[in-house]
Amino acid sequence: MDEAIKVNNLVMQFGRFRAVDGISFSVNNGEIFGLLGPNGAGKTTTIKMLITLLKPTSGNAHVAGFDIVLNSNEVRKNIGIVFQDPSLDDELTGRENLDFHAILYNIEKSQRIKKISQILKLIELEDKADDLVKNYSGGMKRRLEIGRGLIHEPKVLFLDEPTIGLDAQTRRHIWDYIKKLNSMHKITIILTTHYIEEADYLADRVAFVDHGKIVALDTPRALKDKLGGDIISMQVQTGLDSLEKGLKQQKWIKAASTHNGRIDITVDEGEHQIPRLILLAEKHNATIRSIELHKPSLEDVFLHYTGKNIRDEEGEGWKGRIRAMHAKRNR
């Protein structure tokens, strides 16, 4: 079997609200696959269905060759999970956390001792194994949680926002660790994140999720290449509407999108087009506060497909949307 995960038209509905709206994708064995999108896009709900915590409203999926509804126990035996919210026992040591988790999987004592030793070495916590977890740093706790998810040698590891709340330096260390884990053990990893740079660095392929749907799926490089050319970003202080109309009439502009007073323009040979844009702004009485040139990024790709930045809805999960729907209905 070449596919570790196969998802077909999966739907999760809460009342009248569809958190996941008919998504389909597959993940190859040994692949790092990223689900990228803002909070509330449907990433975590998708993961919860795949790990059998939620039963789909409709559609089907197979994980490690097993149906997530018909063979839920077999699915659980073959997956490891690192949740977004911390789930370690701070009053236990690192070793004790691993041991307790291994007991839950009915791993016999001699095997537990061996596996725990291997995991502690892998996550580079051998010297901290007998320290209480409450004394661990954020990065150490995250590594321990990832190690705990590997104790029973799963075929697929799910990482839900694996570096959320960590500083930039610790986040990068966790990224390198995940890369190493995937390379050494050929384990399939599916991660959800709203960090653009995380998906770009880690994932072999990325699916952009927005409002419960997959709006684009490919390798990070291919997604960026689809935009083509260079991106010129202009922050416009006045005259935005007039300038927008003027841009649409220019055949040398491949694409243009506006967001929060900023216009992102896709062109060829961007460094030669900046003077033309300045002249065009003057013609339409538009005042430019700043202008910058860069190659397309995954953020630009997401903006292209959805019309907004990936963090626009951060903090507005599906629970918040349901509450908003009820409030509107009760007015």
Q: In the predicted model, is pLDDT for residue 26 greater than 90? A: yes
Pick the range with the lowest mean pLDDT from 15-19, 23-27, 229-233: 229-233
Q: How far, in Å, are 61, 93, 221 from residue 70 at the CA level? A: 10, 37, 37
pLDDT given for residue 326 in this prediction: 47
Read off the pLDDT of residues 258-279 as tens digits, 9 standing for 90 and up.
Answer: 888 888 888 888 888 899 999 9
Domains in the chain (CATH in brackets) are 3-221 (3.40.50.300), 229-295 (3.30.70.100)
Strand ranges inside the chain, DSSP E: 3-14, 17-28, 32-36, 58-63, 66-67, 79-82, 156-160, 188-193, 205-210, 213-218, 230-238, 255-259, 262-267, 287-294
Average pLDDT over residues 161-189: 87
pLDDT given for residue 314 in this prediction: 45
pTM of the complete model: 0.78
Band of the pLDDT at 255, cuts 50, 70, 90?
A: confident
Maximum mean pLDDT: which of 6-15, 77-86, 121-130, 322-331: 6-15
pLDDT given for residue 320 in this prediction: 47
pLDDT given for residue 123 in this prediction: 86
> Rounded CA gap, 189 and 21, in Å?
23
Pick the range with the lowest mean pLDDT from 83-92, 233-242, 303-312: 303-312
Read off the pLDDT of residues 60-99 as tens digits, 9 standing for 90 and up.
Answer: 999 999 999 999 999 999 999 988 888 899 999 999 999 9
> Vertex 69, ends 34 and 218: CA angle to 5°?
20
pLDDT given for residue 313 in this prediction: 47
Strand partners of residue 17: 14
